[in-house]
Structure 1
């Protein structure tokens, strides 16, 4: 029997944001308790890159593809690998961190579990987070020719302590200068209960006009 686990955080008003600059606001529009006909809510995201969300090429290029430019099946991943790479302070994950890991060369979605998720709700989560090295994207393309997306349990590709490198890393994954294929990033994932063996992952973005990224619901089947 197939089982399922949620790999997204639920959007809440205390959802952390990169740089601690953005907010999620949830308030009632109508309320049965107030004698109105139905319950309805107002949801305001001050940035579409908050909570568990996906970065696509449009995020770093006006010519880049938007979330609405992809087929629905592009958001389904059949070959998924989870790797454990414990990190507790700001650092950059480098190609050398992956050299000795046994990872299927046909992987489509690579999930990186650092354990940093346990700091969510503290200032450390946004100002002392790990990030990805700009060199990782080209290394991944060379080693994993079918890789389409990476996901991880920290707040951004960019470490707050390595912002210059983070900008370059975003570009190297999403809009490489040599015209190589893009690799999406799913940031701020919940991987604490992710199983080591995953059959399939479905990523469901909120499809918005001119979407340069989107909140996503991520479900793993195992």
Structure 2
């Protein structure tokens, strides 16, 4: 199995303007005889999943989705190499011929190699038509960068196309060192918060044959 998650620690990069990740001692062995950590972070810290309510005022929160939605038959779409700020078109996705019965497309842009640098926010993005292409086919989307929209996007059209169709969006996967098959089981379970717009996940790839098996 491959861990596709970025570790959460005080130095974890966050989207500019989002709350920082903080891990502070609340109780210690020396003072209290046990240890408890005060953990503070935003709902979109590190490797995480977006719910529709992230961008839609009347969108569903994560708690509206059954736990089975976070266990996905995934297919890798390798888009490398891509230039900074490149836009991925529907034709680029269509050329990958994704399996018709998969649950999620894992878009491999190569941009996670810039994690922790300013270049990370110069990531490629999906055109609105490419996001709609995924939504129309019922695919959740996972990607190895901060967003399916450009960093300076105010309208977030790719987010809205996907989340508006009740597709889940997994961001900041760590794929650069992963040896992934074309198809695998993606486990990406958030904590069971009620009413939130997103949450960090532990994203894990489980190699598996899907010839006669479906996750749904």
TM-score bracket for the superposition, by shorter chain length: 0.7 to 0.9
- The answer on 1:140 being equivalent to 2:134 is yes
| In 1: Cα distance, 2:18 partner to 2:196 partner | 20
Is residue 75–residue 184 contact of structure 2 (8 Å, CA) maintained in 1?
no
Deviations 1:106-162 (A, max 9, x none): 221100111111111111113x122222112322244x3x42x1101101122214x
User: Which consecutive residues of structure 2, in runs of 5 or more, have no partner in the other structure?
Assistant: 208-216
1:20–1:119 Cα change, 3 Å = farther
1:61–1:150 Cα change, 3 Å = same
Is residue 88–residue 116 contact of structure 1 (8 Å, CA) maintained in 2?
no
| In 2: Cα distance, 1:67 partner to 1:98 partner | 27
- The answer on 1:187 being equivalent to 2:167 is no
Q: Detail structure 1 runs of 4+ shifted over 4 Å in the superposition.
A: none
| In 1: Cα distance, 2:4 partner to 2:11 partner | 18
Q: Give the corresponding residue for 1:11.
A: 8
Partner SS state of residue 12, structure 1 = coil
TM-fit CA distance, 1:168: 1.5
| In 1: Cα distance, 2:141 partner to 2:20 partner | 25
TM-fit CA distance, 1:173: 1.0
Give the count of matched residue pairs. 205
TM-fit CA distance, 1:49: 1.2
Partner SS state of residue 32, structure 2 = coil
Deviations 1:79-99 (A, max 9, x none): 310121122412222212223
**What does 1:166-205 align with in structure 2 at a 5 Å threshold?**
167-175=156-164, 181-192=165-176, 193-205=178-190
Is residue 205–residue 214 contact of structure 1 (8 Å, CA) maintained in 2?
yes
| In 2: Cα distance, 1:19 partner to 1:30 partner | 30
TM-fit CA distance, 1:53: 0.8
TM-score after normalising by structure 1? 0.85
Is residue 14–residue 24 contact of structure 1 (8 Å, CA) maintained in 2?
yes
Q: Give the corresponding residue for 1:97.
A: 92
Is residue 93–residue 130 contact of structure 2 (8 Å, CA) maintained in 1?
no
TM-fit CA distance, 1:20: 5.6
Is residue 94–residue 136 contact of structure 1 (8 Å, CA) maintained in 2?
yes
TM-score after normalising by structure 2? 0.87
- The answer on 1:56 being equivalent to 2:40 is no
Q: Give the corresponding residue for 1:38.
A: 34
TM-fit CA distance, 1:21: 4.5
Q: Give the corresponding residue for 1:218.
A: 203
Q: Give the corresponding residue for 1:74.
A: 69
| In 1: Cα distance, 2:69 partner to 2:13 partner | 28
Deviations 1:164-187 (A, max 9, x none): 46x121111111xxxxx3221101
| In 2: Cα distance, 1:189 partner to 1:90 partner | 18
